[in-house]
Amino acid sequence: MSGEHEYPVVAEGLRKTFRHTRRSGLPDKLAVDGVSFNVRKGEIFGLLGPNGAGKTTTIKMLSTLLIPDEGSVRILGMDGIKDVKNVRQRINLVSGGERGLYYRLTGRQNLRFFANLYDIAKVGQEALIDKLLDIVGLTEAADIKVEDYSRGMKQRMHIARALVNDPEILYLDEPTIGLDPEIARDVRSLIRKLAGSGKTILLTTHYMFEAEELCDRIMIISKGRSVGYGTVAELKKMVPDTNIIEVVTNDDPHDTVAKLSSEHFIQHVNTERIAGRHCTRIQLKDRTDLLSYLDTVFSKYGIRKIGYDEPTLEDIYISLVGGEGQEDGGHHR
Partner 1 sequence: MNVKAITAAFRQQGTQFLADPQWIIPSIIAPFMFTVVALYMYSGAGELDSPIVLTAVLGGGVLGMWGNMLFSSGFTITYDRYNGTMEPIMLTPTHLIDVIAGRSVWNVFIGMINAVLVFISAQLIFGVGVSVADPLLFFPMLLMTLFSLASIGLMLAALFVLTRASYVITTILEFPIYVFSGALFPITALPEALRPISYIFAPTWGVDALKTAAISGYNTPMASFGIWFDVLMMFLLIAVYIIASYFLFMRIERNIRESGTLARY
- Indicate the length of the chain as a whole number: 333
11 or 93, CB closer to partner 1? 93
Shortest approach of partner 1 to residue 71 CB, angstroms? 14
Q: Which is nearer to partner 1, 90 or 223 (CB)?
A: 90
Indicate the residue among 101 and 321 with the shorter CB distance to partner 1. Answer: 101
Contact 325, 51 (CB under 8 A): yes
Shortest separation between residue 69's beta carbon and partner 1, angstroms: 9
CB of 54 to partner 1, least distance (A): 12
Phi, psi of 186 (to 5 degrees): -60, -45
Q: Smallest gap, in angstroms, from Cβ of residue 136 to partner 1?
A: 15
**Which of 305, 304, 302 has the alpha carbon at shortest distance from 245?**
305
Cα separation of 226 and 220, whole Å?
Answer: 6
Q: Nearer to partner 1 by C-beta: 18 or 265?
A: 18
Closest to partner 1 by CB, 65 vs 232, is 65
Q: Kindly report the number of other CB atoms within 10 A of residue 274's CB atom.
A: 9
Count of C-beta atoms within a 10 Å radius of residue 154: 21
Of 64 and 267, which CB lies nearer to partner 1 in the complex structure?
64
CA distances from 156 to 114, 181, 215 (A): 15, 14, 20
For binding to partner 1 (CB under 8 A), which residues are involved? 16, 18-19, 57, 60, 63-67, 84-86, 88-89, 91-93, 95, 97-105, 109, 112-114, 116-119, 145, 161, 165
- What distance in Å separates the CA atoms of residue 47 and residue 25, rounded to the nearest whole number? 31
Distance CA 171, CA 210 (A): 15
Find the shortest distance in angstroms from Cβ 119 to partner 1.
Answer: 6
Residue 237, SS3 per DSSP: coil
Q: How far apart are CA 321 and CA 142, in angstroms?
A: 43
Nearer to partner 1 by Cβ, of 158 and 206: the residue is 158
Measured between its terminal Cα atoms, the distance across the chain in Å is 40
Q: How far is the CB of 73 from partner 1 (least distance, A)?
A: 12
As measured in angstroms, the least distance from the Cβ of 17 to partner 1 is: 10
Distance CA 158, CA 138 (A): 11
Name the residue type at position 112: R
